[in-house]
Amino acid sequence: MFAEVLDVERITPGLIRVRFGGGDLHEFESTEYTDQYINGYFVPPDANYPVPFDLDEVRTLGDELRPRPRRFTVRKWDEEAKKLTIDFVIHGDVGFAGPWAKRAVPGDKLQFKGPNGSYSPNPEVDWHLFAGDETAIPGISASVESLGAGSHCVVFIVVDNHEFEIPIHTDATLDLKWLHRDDSTDPSSLLLEAVRNFDFLEGTYDVFVHGEAGEVRELRKYLVGEKSLNPETSSISPYWRRNHTDEAWRKVKKEWLADQENDI
Protein backbone atom coordinates (compact mmCIF):
# COMPACT_ATOMS: atom_id res chain seq x y z
CA MET A 1 0.00 0.00 0.00
CA PHE A 2 1.22 3.56 -0.59
CA ALA A 3 0.08 7.10 0.16
CA GLU A 4 0.98 10.56 -1.06
CA VAL A 5 2.20 13.46 1.06
CA LEU A 6 -0.46 16.18 1.20
CA ASP A 7 1.27 18.61 3.53
CA VAL A 8 4.16 18.87 5.94
CA GLU A 9 4.16 20.91 9.13
CA ARG A 10 7.00 21.48 11.60
CA ILE A 11 5.06 21.31 14.87
CA THR A 12 8.10 21.67 17.14
CA PRO A 13 11.83 22.04 16.39
CA GLY A 14 12.00 18.23 16.72
CA LEU A 15 8.71 16.97 15.32
CA ILE A 16 7.43 17.01 11.75
CA ARG A 17 3.80 16.23 11.03
CA VAL A 18 3.15 14.67 7.63
CA ARG A 19 -0.38 14.28 6.34
CA PHE A 20 -0.95 11.66 3.67
CA GLY A 21 -3.84 11.11 1.29
CA GLY A 22 -4.60 9.40 -2.01
CA GLY A 23 -2.69 6.33 -3.14
CA ASP A 24 -4.20 3.17 -1.66
CA LEU A 25 -5.58 4.84 1.46
CA HIS A 26 -9.13 3.92 0.42
CA GLU A 27 -8.05 0.38 1.41
CA PHE A 28 -6.55 1.41 4.78
CA GLU A 29 -8.11 -0.67 7.55
CA SER A 30 -7.75 1.15 10.84
CA THR A 31 -7.61 -1.06 13.93
CA GLU A 32 -9.26 -0.58 17.32
CA TYR A 33 -5.87 0.22 18.91
CA THR A 34 -4.67 3.71 19.84
CA ASP A 35 -1.01 2.65 19.44
CA GLN A 36 -1.53 1.38 15.89
CA TYR A 37 1.48 1.80 13.63
CA ILE A 38 2.50 1.34 10.04
CA ASN A 39 5.69 -0.20 8.73
CA GLY A 40 6.96 2.36 6.23
CA TYR A 41 9.53 1.59 3.52
CA PHE A 42 11.85 4.59 3.23
CA VAL A 43 13.70 4.85 -0.06
CA PRO A 44 17.31 6.09 0.31
CA PRO A 45 17.89 9.46 -1.39
CA ASP A 46 20.27 7.98 -4.00
CA ALA A 47 17.79 5.35 -5.19
CA ASN A 48 15.77 6.32 -8.23
CA TYR A 49 13.04 3.69 -8.43
CA PRO A 50 9.49 5.02 -8.12
CA VAL A 51 6.99 4.35 -5.31
CA PRO A 52 5.06 2.03 -5.30
CA PHE A 53 7.61 -0.70 -5.97
CA ASP A 54 7.83 -4.48 -5.88
CA LEU A 55 9.28 -5.07 -2.43
CA ASP A 56 10.90 -8.41 -3.33
CA GLU A 57 12.59 -6.83 -6.31
CA VAL A 58 14.02 -3.73 -4.58
CA ARG A 59 15.17 -5.76 -1.59
CA THR A 60 17.81 -7.31 -3.86
CA LEU A 61 19.36 -3.93 -4.71
CA GLY A 62 21.87 -3.98 -1.87
CA ASP A 63 22.28 -1.93 1.28
CA GLU A 64 22.77 1.40 -0.50
CA LEU A 65 19.51 1.31 -2.41
CA ARG A 66 17.01 -1.02 -0.74
CA PRO A 67 14.14 0.64 1.13
CA ARG A 68 14.50 0.73 4.92
CA PRO A 69 11.58 -0.52 7.00
CA ARG A 70 10.69 1.72 9.95
CA ARG A 71 7.67 1.73 12.24
CA PHE A 72 5.62 4.86 12.83
CA THR A 73 2.52 5.37 14.92
CA VAL A 74 -0.69 6.43 13.27
CA ARG A 75 -1.16 9.80 14.95
CA LYS A 76 -4.55 10.17 13.30
CA TRP A 77 -6.65 8.36 10.75
CA ASP A 78 -9.53 10.30 9.22
CA GLU A 79 -11.84 7.57 7.97
CA GLU A 80 -14.17 9.92 6.14
CA ALA A 81 -11.49 11.88 4.29
CA LYS A 82 -9.15 8.83 4.08
CA LYS A 83 -6.25 10.87 5.42
CA LEU A 84 -3.40 9.59 7.54
CA THR A 85 -1.28 11.70 9.88
CA ILE A 86 2.16 10.68 11.14
CA ASP A 87 4.47 12.66 13.44
CA PHE A 88 8.16 12.07 12.71
CA VAL A 89 10.87 12.81 15.27
CA ILE A 90 13.79 14.69 13.75
CA HIS A 91 17.05 13.41 15.19
CA GLY A 92 19.78 15.09 13.17
CA ASP A 93 20.64 14.04 9.62
CA VAL A 94 21.28 10.38 10.40
CA GLY A 95 19.02 7.50 9.45
CA PHE A 96 16.44 7.12 6.70
CA ALA A 97 12.98 7.91 8.06
CA GLY A 98 13.84 11.10 9.96
CA PRO A 99 15.71 12.63 7.00
CA TRP A 100 12.92 11.47 4.64
CA ALA A 101 10.40 13.44 6.69
CA LYS A 102 12.72 16.46 6.71
CA ARG A 103 12.89 16.39 2.89
CA ALA A 104 9.22 15.52 2.37
CA VAL A 105 7.15 17.75 0.10
CA PRO A 106 3.60 17.41 -1.19
CA GLY A 107 3.43 14.73 -3.86
CA ASP A 108 6.12 12.49 -2.31
CA LYS A 109 5.00 8.91 -1.84
CA LEU A 110 5.50 6.44 0.97
CA GLN A 111 4.94 2.71 0.67
CA PHE A 112 3.93 0.88 3.83
CA LYS A 113 2.31 -2.15 5.40
CA GLY A 114 -0.20 -2.17 8.21
CA PRO A 115 -1.59 -0.85 10.40
CA ASN A 116 -1.08 -3.12 13.40
CA GLY A 117 -1.47 -2.37 17.07
CA SER A 118 -1.92 -3.91 20.48
CA TYR A 119 -2.84 -1.26 23.06
CA SER A 120 -5.84 0.85 23.88
CA PRO A 121 -6.53 2.27 27.33
CA ASN A 122 -8.25 -0.38 29.43
CA PRO A 123 -11.75 0.94 30.22
CA GLU A 124 -11.90 -1.23 33.37
CA VAL A 125 -9.08 0.48 35.30
CA ASP A 126 -9.30 3.53 37.59
CA TRP A 127 -6.46 5.48 35.98
CA HIS A 128 -3.86 5.30 33.22
CA LEU A 129 -0.10 5.85 33.37
CA PHE A 130 1.77 6.98 30.24
CA ALA A 131 5.51 7.60 29.96
CA GLY A 132 7.83 8.03 27.02
CA ASP A 133 9.96 10.23 24.82
CA GLU A 134 9.15 12.09 21.58
CA THR A 135 8.59 8.84 19.66
CA ALA A 136 5.78 7.96 22.07
CA ILE A 137 4.05 11.36 21.78
CA PRO A 138 1.82 10.19 18.87
CA GLY A 139 0.75 7.02 20.72
CA ILE A 140 0.25 8.85 24.00
CA SER A 141 -1.71 11.65 22.29
CA ALA A 142 -4.00 9.25 20.42
CA SER A 143 -4.57 7.19 23.58
CA VAL A 144 -5.25 10.14 25.86
CA GLU A 145 -7.53 11.74 23.25
CA SER A 146 -9.62 8.57 23.17
CA LEU A 147 -10.41 8.85 26.89
CA GLY A 148 -13.61 10.55 27.96
CA ALA A 149 -14.67 12.63 30.95
CA GLY A 150 -14.42 10.59 34.14
CA SER A 151 -11.13 8.94 33.10
CA HIS A 152 -7.88 10.01 34.70
CA CYS A 153 -4.49 9.92 33.03
CA VAL A 154 -1.02 10.66 34.34
CA VAL A 155 1.53 11.42 31.62
CA PHE A 156 5.32 11.86 31.72
CA ILE A 157 7.06 12.89 28.50
CA VAL A 158 10.75 13.64 28.11
CA VAL A 159 11.83 16.26 25.52
CA ASP A 160 14.82 18.60 25.15
CA ASN A 161 13.10 21.75 26.49
CA HIS A 162 9.77 23.60 26.52
CA GLU A 163 10.01 24.41 22.78
CA PHE A 164 9.56 20.70 22.09
CA GLU A 165 6.27 20.42 23.99
CA ILE A 166 2.96 20.13 22.14
CA PRO A 167 -0.63 20.55 23.32
CA ILE A 168 -2.30 17.30 24.34
CA HIS A 169 -6.09 17.27 24.20
CA THR A 170 -8.50 15.09 26.12
CA ASP A 171 -11.84 15.18 27.91
CA ALA A 172 -10.26 13.10 30.67
CA THR A 173 -8.53 14.55 33.72
CA LEU A 174 -4.94 15.01 32.58
CA ASP A 175 -1.90 15.26 34.87
CA LEU A 176 0.80 16.02 32.32
CA LYS A 177 4.43 16.49 33.28
CA TRP A 178 7.01 17.47 30.67
CA LEU A 179 10.59 16.54 31.60
CA HIS A 180 13.44 18.56 30.09
CA ARG A 181 16.75 16.98 29.14
CA ASP A 182 18.37 20.42 28.89
CA ASP A 183 17.78 20.97 32.62
CA SER A 184 19.20 17.62 33.66
CA THR A 185 22.70 16.32 34.35
CA ASP A 186 21.43 12.78 33.68
CA PRO A 187 18.73 13.01 30.97
CA SER A 188 18.43 9.26 30.47
CA SER A 189 17.18 8.80 34.04
CA LEU A 190 14.51 11.53 33.86
CA LEU A 191 11.56 9.24 33.13
CA LEU A 192 12.51 6.70 35.76
CA GLU A 193 13.07 9.35 38.43
CA ALA A 194 9.82 11.14 37.62
CA VAL A 195 7.77 7.94 37.89
CA ARG A 196 9.68 6.82 40.98
CA ASN A 197 8.93 10.14 42.70
CA PHE A 198 5.28 10.09 41.73
CA ASP A 199 2.71 9.13 44.37
CA PHE A 200 0.72 6.43 42.63
CA LEU A 201 -3.02 7.04 42.75
CA GLU A 202 -5.44 4.74 44.51
CA GLY A 203 -7.06 1.95 42.52
CA THR A 204 -6.20 -0.06 39.44
CA TYR A 205 -4.22 1.30 36.50
CA ASP A 206 -2.78 0.34 33.15
CA VAL A 207 0.58 1.37 31.72
CA PHE A 208 1.88 2.58 28.35
CA VAL A 209 5.67 3.09 28.32
CA HIS A 210 7.62 3.50 25.07
CA GLY A 211 10.75 5.26 23.88
CA GLU A 212 14.50 4.66 24.02
CA ALA A 213 15.30 1.04 24.85
CA GLY A 214 17.57 1.60 27.85
CA GLU A 215 15.23 4.14 29.44
CA VAL A 216 12.17 1.96 28.88
CA ARG A 217 13.97 -1.02 30.37
CA GLU A 218 14.85 0.83 33.57
CA LEU A 219 11.28 1.97 33.96
CA ARG A 220 9.96 -1.53 33.32
CA LYS A 221 12.34 -2.89 35.94
CA TYR A 222 10.97 -0.41 38.47
CA LEU A 223 7.30 -0.93 37.61
CA VAL A 224 7.44 -4.71 37.47
CA GLY A 225 10.01 -5.18 40.24
CA GLU A 226 8.90 -2.58 42.75
CA LYS A 227 5.30 -1.81 41.81
CA SER A 228 4.38 -5.44 41.06
CA LEU A 229 3.05 -4.51 37.64
CA ASN A 230 2.11 -7.46 35.45
CA PRO A 231 4.13 -6.96 32.23
CA GLU A 232 1.71 -9.20 30.33
CA THR A 233 -1.15 -6.74 30.79
CA SER A 234 0.94 -3.61 30.21
CA SER A 235 2.21 -1.95 27.06
CA ILE A 236 5.93 -1.48 27.66
CA SER A 237 8.41 -1.76 24.81
CA PRO A 238 11.39 -0.03 23.24
CA TYR A 239 10.73 2.03 20.09
CA TRP A 240 14.41 2.69 19.28
CA ARG A 241 17.88 2.13 20.68
CA ARG A 242 20.51 4.81 21.22
CA ASN A 243 23.57 4.43 18.92
CA HIS A 244 21.84 1.68 16.93
CA THR A 245 20.21 2.07 13.56
CA ASP A 246 16.90 0.25 13.39
CA GLU A 247 18.65 -2.56 11.47
CA ALA A 248 21.35 -2.93 14.14
CA TRP A 249 18.73 -2.78 16.88
CA ARG A 250 16.51 -5.44 15.30
CA LYS A 251 19.52 -7.77 15.10
CA VAL A 252 20.01 -7.74 18.88
CA LYS A 253 16.48 -6.96 20.04
CA LYS A 254 15.30 -10.52 20.63
CA GLU A 255 18.28 -11.37 22.80
CA TRP A 256 18.01 -8.03 24.60
CA LEU A 257 14.34 -8.60 25.41
CA ALA A 258 15.08 -12.12 26.65
CA ASP A 259 17.85 -10.74 28.85
CA GLN A 260 15.43 -8.15 30.20
CA GLU A 261 13.47 -10.98 31.81
CA ASN A 262 16.44 -11.41 34.20
CA ASP A 263 16.09 -7.81 35.43
CA ILE A 264 13.51 -8.71 38.05
Ligand X SMILES: Cc1cc2nc3c(=O)[nH]c(=O)nc-3n(C[C@H](O)[C@H](O)[C@H](O)COP(=O)(O)OP(=O)(O)OC[C@H]3O[C@@H](n4cnc5c(N)ncnc54)[C@H](O)[C@@H]3O)c2cc1C
CB atoms within 10 A of CB 30: 13
Exactly one of 91, 102, 109, 253 binds ligand X (CB under 6 A); that residue is 91
Residue closer to ligand X by CB (options 68, 196) is 68
Which residue has the CB atom at the shortest distance from ligand X? 95
The answer to whether residue 89 forms part of the interface with ligand X (CB under 6 A) is yes
Q: Which stretch binds ligand X (CB under 6 A): 87-95, 121-129, 191-199, 252-260?
A: 87-95
Alpha helices in the chain (DSSP H): 55-58, 97-103, 137-145, 190-196, 213-226, 246-260
Q: What are phi and psi of 206, to 5 degrees?
A: -120, 165
The answer to whether residue 112 forms part of the interface with ligand X (CB under 6 A) is no
Exactly one of 46, 93, 94, 255 binds ligand X (CB under 6 A); that residue is 94
* One-letter-per-residue 3-state SS of 26-54: HHCCCCCCCCCEEEEEECCCCCCCCCCCC
DSSP H or E segment with residue 5:
strand 2-12
* Binders of ligand X in range 140-179 (CB under 6 A): none
Cα–Cα dist 59/67, whole Å: 7
The answer to whether residue 135 forms part of the interface with ligand X (CB under 6 A) is yes
- Least Å distance, CB 241 to ligand X, is 6
Residues belonging to the chain:
264
- Least Å distance, CB 124 to ligand X, is 24
| Footprint of ligand X (CB under 6 A) | 37, 68, 70-73, 87-89, 91, 94-98, 134-135, 138, 239-246
